[in-house]
Structure 1
Amino acid sequence: MNDHPVLARIRLNPHHRDVHRDLRDPMQMHRTVMRMAPDNLGDAPRHQVGLLYRLEETDTSSTLLVQGTHLDPALLPPNYGHADVKSLAPMFSALSKGIAVRYRIVLNPAKRERLGLDQKDKRGKIIPLSGADADQWWLRRAADAGLHLHVLTPTSLAPARPRNQQTPAMRHSLLRYDGTATVTDPEALTQAVLNGIGRGKPYGAGLLSLAPATAA
C-alpha cells in the first residue's frame, strides 16, 4: 500500500441509490467514504489514514474529493462514481516560502462558550460563528497554518445535519472559503493540509486544497 497521501476526485453517479442517500445524510457519506480505507485500523480509523473529504456541487454534477493514505476507490459501491487518483507529493514538494497560491476549504468555524467561575468544572457549548467572526476565525487559523490570506470569499453552505435519531439536535454550520494567499511557513502548511483544519471533519469540513496562483 502507498504511504503517501493521495487525492481521489470522484464524479458521483447521479442515478445511484447510495449517492442519493449519502447526499441527504453526511453520516452516511462519511461511512461510504471510509469504505475506501483498509480494515482493522483500530479505534480511530479516519485519523489513521488521514482521511478528509469535501463535496463540491454544481447545478449539473456532484464531485467528491477524498484525501488520505491507503485509499482504494474500488472499495466504493459498484458504479458509485468515476474516480481519478493523484499523488499529493508534487504539491508538497512545490511549497516554498513566499509563493502565491489559490485555496479552497470548507470550514465549521466555532468557539466554545465561556462559563462563569461558578461553573469552572463544566465545559461550555460549541457556538458556531458567522459573518465577520467567522472571517476572523479563518484568518487566525490560516496564519497558524502558514498562510497569509489576501482574499477570503465566504459562501454559506447547507448545514450538515446527521439523520441519526440519537442526534436530533446536532447541526454543523459549514462555510466555504475561496481566495488567494502567500505561503509563510511551508512545514506548517504541509501539516495543515495533511491533518485538516477545524472541527467537522466527519461532515466534509477541513480539507484544504491548494493550487498555484495565476498572474492577473
Structure 2
Amino acid sequence: MYLTHFRINTPRHGARFLLSSPQRWHAAVLASFPGLPPDPGVRPRILWRLDHNARADVHAYIVSPDRPDLTHLVEQAGWPSLAEPGNPGWETLHYRPFLGRLAKGDRWAFRLTANPVHSIRRKDGEPTKRTAHVSPRHQLGWLLERQTRHGFMLLPGVVPDAQDPLERYAAIVHGRRDLSFRKRPDDPAPGTGPKGKGRRSGPVSLVTAVFSGRLEVTDPDALRNALTQGIGRGKAYGCGLLTLAPES
C-alpha cells in the first residue's frame, strides 16, 4: 500500500479544469496507474481526497495498492519546471509500515471527507430514498454511528457530558460542499459520438463534509481496513479517505 501527496498549482488552467468536477479528478487519478482494469468491478480500491485548506492551497491525497505515476498531473496541474529525478513533483510513501504499527489505545488526530447519507421513507409502502445529512449535528451523528465498526472512537471534547455531540466530542464538521456534475463530463451530446446515439449520462448530486478532530484506536484491524478501503459512499468522487496524524 502507498500514501501519496500532491500539492495542486491552483492558478493553472489545467488545475482549475480538473478541480471543476470530481469525475475529472477521479479519471486523472485512475490514469496514474498503468494497466488498471477498465472494469470498475475488478479494480483494486483507490481512494483520493482533496483538502481545500484555502482558496489557493489545495492538496491531493491518494491511498492505493500500487505506486502511482503522477507525471501527467504535474504537467497539467503542478510545477513541471521544478520537477527533477529526486523530486518529481509529488511524494509517495510506503503505507504498510505505518498501518502495521497501529495499536489499541493509540490516539491520533484525524481528517476525513465523507458523504453522510441516510435512507428515509416518506410514506408507508414507498421504497426508501437515500438522502444527504446537511446539518453538522446530523453529519457528526452519521460518523458516530460508524466509529465502532471502523475500529475507533472519537475522544471527548471540552464538555464531555454535553447533550450536543458537537460539544461532547473532540471533532468538528466543516467544509460542506454541495456538488452537482455529470458523471462523464466529456460525453458527446446525444447522437454525436461513436457510442452516444441518444445517450447522455445524468447529473450526479453529492453533499460532502469534512470531519477533523481526535480519535482513539479500539480495533486496529478494523481501522486498517477503514484507512485502505474507505468509509461511507462516494469513494469515486473523493469521499471516504481517512488519514491520521500525530496529535499536536
Shift of 1:134: 1.5
Of 143, 167, 187, 2:202 maps to: 167
SS in 1 for 2:201: coil
- Matching residue of 2:69: 73
Percentage of pairs with the same residue: 25
TM-score (norm 2): 0.76
**Any conservation in 1 of the 2:48–2:61 contact (CA below 8 Å)?**
yes
**Any conservation in 1 of the 2:67–2:92 contact (CA below 8 Å)?**
no
Partners in 1 of 2:146 and 2:106 — Cα distance?
19
Q: CA RMSD in A?
A: 2.0
Shift of 1:188: 0.4
1:104-127 superposed Cα distances (whole Å, 9 cap, x missing partner): 0001100122365534xxx42210
Matched, 1:128 2:132: yes
- Matching residue of 1:51: 46
CA 1:143–1:90 in 2, change beyond 3 Å: closer, same or farther?
same
Shift of 1:60: 3.0
Matched, 1:26 2:22: yes
1:58-92 superposed Cα distances (whole Å, 9 cap, x missing partner): 23322111111223224534523221111112221
TM-score (norm 1): 0.86
Of 64, 70, 94, 2:101 maps to: 94
Kindly name which structure, 1 or 2, has the bigger radius of gyration based on alpha carbons: 2
SS in 2 for 1:14: coil
Gaps in structure 2 of 5+ consecutive residues: 79-88, 156-169, 186-199
Matched, 1:6 2:2: yes
SS in 1 for 2:143: helix
**Any conservation in 2 of the 1:33–1:76 contact (CA below 8 Å)?**
no
CA 1:95–1:171 in 2, change beyond 3 Å: closer, same or farther?
same
Of 119, 130, 133, 1:112 maps to: 119
Q: Which amino acid is the alignment partner of residue 92 of structure 2?
A: V
Partners in 2 of 1:54 and 1:61 — Cα distance?
14
**Any conservation in 2 of the 1:54–1:204 contact (CA below 8 Å)?**
yes
**Any conservation in 2 of the 1:146–1:186 contact (CA below 8 Å)?**
yes
